[in-house]
Amino acid sequence: MREQSTRKMVYLSMLIAMGTALHVVEGMIPIPLPIPGVKLGLANMVTLLALYLYGFRDGLTVALLRVFLASLVSGTFLSPGFLLAITGAVGSTAVMALLLKHTRCFSMIGTSMAGALGHNLGQLFAASLLLQSSAVIYYLPILLFSGTATGFFTGYLLNSLLQQKSALPGEWYR
């Protein structure tokens, strides 16, 4: 038992570290368009994987800790961007967890896209509160578009990853 929980903790920590690294690195990629909030979302792969392997609680932990650490590293801790990232993470994790647990009709692709949708909606909601303006809704089509596209992409990557069983911790392949 102990071996398993240690292994789990180590693996989760690795996931969090990877998620943080992905988050920070992709934040450094300049986007030609002056649209904030559009990003590759690679770090969501990590969240989704954690959800897939260990369930909602651990998945949410990974997601939130990843956002915390990444913001500390980038120096954006407690900034508006940080708050948006938190709400986005909660939104996407909740959506993805629900889908993973109760449905079988989606692969990682669909789940990831739905997660992106949850992420964007969570962010828009928080932004509208922060800015006290309903004008943020003009962002919706852009976010939907980029969310669907990046969600598809990261889901596809994760699908491929899961086919390489060696990436997963011991108890998953016997």
Partner 1 sequence: MTKGDKILLAALTCLTLLSAALLYGRFFLPKESTRARQAVVSVRGEVVRRIDLPSSGKSSFQVQGRVGPSMVEVDGARVSMREAPCAGGICVKQGWIEHPGQSIACVPGEILVRIEGAALLDAVTR
Partner 2 sequence: MNRRSVFSLCALVLLLIAGLLSPYIFRSDIEYQSDQFLMDTLVSIKVYGEDQDLLNAAVKGAYAEMRRIAELADAFAKPETAAAQGSDVFRVSALAGKGAVRVSNDVMAMLISSKAYADWSEGAFDVTVGPLMKLWDFGGSNPHLPTPDRIKAAVKLVGSKDLVLNEQHKTAMLAREGMRIDLGAVAKGYATERALQVLKSHGIKKALIDAGGNIRVLGRNRQELPWRIGIKDPRKSDAIIAVLQLEDASAVTSADYYRGFESGGKRYHHILDPRTGYPAGQSMSATVVTRDAGVADILSTVFFVLTPDKALELAEKLEGVDLVLVTADRHIRHTASLEGKIAVQPDTGYHYDQGR
Q: How many residues sit close enough to partner 2 to count as binding (CB under 8 A)?
A: 23
Mark out the alpha helices in 76-139 (DSSP H runs): 80-102, 108-131
* CA–CA dist 37, 84 (Å, integer): 9
- The one-character DSSP state at 106 is -
Question: Given candidates 18, 24, 98, 157, which one binds partner 2 under the rule CB under 8 A?
Answer: 98
Question: Given candidates 88, 118, 147, 151, which one binds partner 2 under the rule CB under 8 A?
Answer: 118
Residue 56 near partner 2 by CB under 8 A: no
How many Cα atoms occupy the beta-carbon half-sphere of 22 within 13 Å?
19
**From the CB of 83, what's the least distance to partner 1, in Å?**
24
Residue 160 near partner 1 by CB under 8 A: no
Sequence-ordered list of residues with C-beta below 8 angstroms from that of 35, at least 6 positions apart, any chain: 139, 142
Q: Which CB, 31 or 137, lies closer to partner 2? A: 137
Q: Give the one entry of partner 1, partner 2, none that residue 144 binds, where binding means its C-beta sits below a cut-off of 5 to 8 angstroms depending on kind.
A: partner 1
The structure tokens listed for 92 are 């996407």
Question: Given candidates 148, 161, 168, 169, which one binds partner 1 under the rule CB under 8 A?
Answer: 148
Question: Which of these, 58, 54, 49, 47, lies nearest to 23 by C-alpha position?
Answer: 47
The structure tokens listed for 148 are 């669907």
Question: Which of these, 43, 81, 89, lies nearest to 64 by C-alpha position?
Answer: 89
Question: Given candidates 137, 167, 170, 172, which one binds partner 2 under the rule CB under 8 A?
Answer: 137
**From the CB of 162, what's the least distance to partner 1, in Å?**
14
**From the CB of 77, what's the least distance to partner 2, in Å?**
25
* 137-152 burial: b if 16+ Cβ within 10 Å, else e: eebeeebeebbbebbe
Question: Given candidates 19, 41, 91, 147, which one binds partner 2 under the rule CB under 8 A?
Answer: 91
Q: Which CB, 75 or 141, lies closer to partner 1? A: 141
By CB under 8 A, which span of 2-10, 14-22, 77-85, 94-102 interacts with partner 2? Answer: 94-102
